[in-house]
Homo-oligomer: A and B are copies of this chain.
Amino acid sequence: MITLYLAEDQSMLNSALTQLLELEDDLHVVGSARDGKTAWVDLQQLRPQVAILDIEIPGMSGLDVADRLRAADWETKVVILTTFAQQAYFERAVNAQVAGYLLKDSPSDDLIDTIRQVMQGKTVYAPELVVNMFSAATNPLTSRELAVLAEADKGLSTKTIAANLYLSAGTVRNYLSAIFSKLGVHNRLEAIKVAKDNKWLTNESGTKGG
């Protein structure tokens, strides 16, 4: 009997998968959560054999949870289950030595297969991502530049950004200028777009919406 834990914030998928996994004779879902913190607390208690983690969940991301599990060095294996192929996520997952990385763009039977395979000590990664691994651009921006760009993304003026980061306005403009030249664009809007497309900048998407 393989014990499972599921962290997935979309209730529809969470409950559907839970019920589906329970139908398998050799699988048992010992718990589930809709946010990262609850998941982490539960995992410490329950110590399941496999933790299925969505990345984009509130509070603490699935990758954060994976890191902690790695650090704790328990026998719990991690299967990341995420929406779409994002190289940066995948790389972090590989670094956290997760046992599996599956896209939601796969049928649910694949998840069941993956669970059984990782329990046999295998590592199962979505092939799309492994291929991409070599063609992905790496973030050319320094952390400071990224911070400036993140402020710019809020729609703030140079002056306000400077105030927020305790810099002079001139410095902020220099950073922006450096960013543009690195990204091959000529204004903040485009820079933000490029950075978001490449996932160098988080898509916080504002107050409402989602």
Nearest-neighbour CB distance to chain B for A167, whole angstroms, equals: 19
| Complex Cα–Cα for A85 and B39 (A) | 25
Stretch in A40-48, A104-112, A140-148 touching the partner? A104-112
User: How many chain copies?
Assistant: 2
The reply to whether the CB of A68 lies closer than 8 angstroms to some CB of chain B is: no
Known: A205-B203, A209-B196, A210-B84. A16 touches B108 (CB 8 A): yes
Stretch in A71-79, A116-124, A168-176, A183-191 touching the partner? A183-191
Q: Is B15's CB under 8 angstroms from A109's CB?
A: yes
Nearest-neighbour CB distance to chain B for A149, whole angstroms, equals: 12
The reply to whether the CB of A182 lies closer than 8 angstroms to some CB of chain B is: no
Known: A15-B108, A104-B13, A107-B15. A196 touches B189 (CB 8 A): no
User: Which residue of chain B has the shortest Cβ distance to A8 in the bound complex?
Assistant: B12
Contacts of A27 in B (CB 8 A): none
The reply to whether the CB of A152 lies closer than 8 angstroms to some CB of chain B is: yes
| Complex Cα–Cα for A17 and B20 (A) | 9
Q: Is B208's CB under 8 angstroms from A12's CB?
A: no
The reply to whether the CB of A193 lies closer than 8 angstroms to some CB of chain B is: yes
Contacts of A104 in B (CB 8 A): 10-13
Identify which of A109, A196, A199, A209 gathers the most chain B CB atoms within 10 Å of its CB. A209
The reply to whether the CB of A3 lies closer than 8 angstroms to some CB of chain B is: no
| Complex Cα–Cα for A151 and B23 (A) | 51
Q: Is B196's CB under 8 angstroms from A206's CB?
A: yes
User: Which residue of chain B has the shortest Cβ distance to A157 in the bound complex?
Assistant: B187
Question: Taking beta carbons and an 8 Å cutoff, which residues of A are in contact with B?
Answer: 10-17, 19-20, 23, 81, 83-84, 86, 103-109, 111, 152-153, 155, 157, 185-190, 192-193, 196-199, 203, 205-210
Cβ contacts A to B, 20 pairs, < 8 Å: A10-B104, A10-B105, A11-B104, A11-B106, A12-B17, A12-B81, A12-B103, A12-B104, A12-B105, A12-B106, A15-B107, A16-B20, A23-B23, A152-B189, A155-B187, A157-B186, A189-B192, A197-B207, A197-B209, A198-B208
